[in-house]
Structure 1
Amino acid sequence: MITYFVVQSFTLGSRGAFLADDPVEATGAEHALRLAERLATSKVGVIAFSRTGDLSTGEFEDATVLFLSGELPTDMQEELAA
């Protein structure tokens, strides 16, 4: 089993559409939180999450949200609400 920690930030495009920035893999939960908090000051939305799974089978658990700030694309908001 392996756990990935990822920070995904978003900016707004010229027509108001959300644009995903390049995701950043963090070394652990605290690193993800520090990075997400720093990005939250300049981005329209930021989410940090972890996913645990087995690389050999490709089976991963649902993401665990570690940090959430600002606005996110509608489809992502709906998925988080489910």
Structure 2
Amino acid sequence: MAYSKFFKELIKKCWNANPSERPNARKIVIILGNILKKIRTKELDIPKLTKISSVEDEPLPAENMNSKSIYTSRLLTSTVYEA
């Protein structure tokens, strides 16, 4: 079983529209501990990661940001459920 399924479920819980349904920090630590335990006991498959490019490590230049722009966030629930 892939570990990404567990992270997807955790993200869904953390992004729940109802704040009372979101896990608190203690619950998140427990969930991550359970995932780590499954990884250590080889119950979860971990894909081998390779570095794609060093360009990803470079910071974005500040001139790309417009200081007069207003940045907002939006609820991504539908995006999470589609994945």
**TM-score scaled by length of structure 1:** 0.28
Q: Which has the higher contact order (CA 8 A, sep 6+)?
A: 2
Name the structure with the higher helix share: 2
Name the structure with the higher strand share: 1
**TM-score scaled by length of structure 2:** 0.28
Q: Which of 1 and 2 has greater Rg?
A: 2
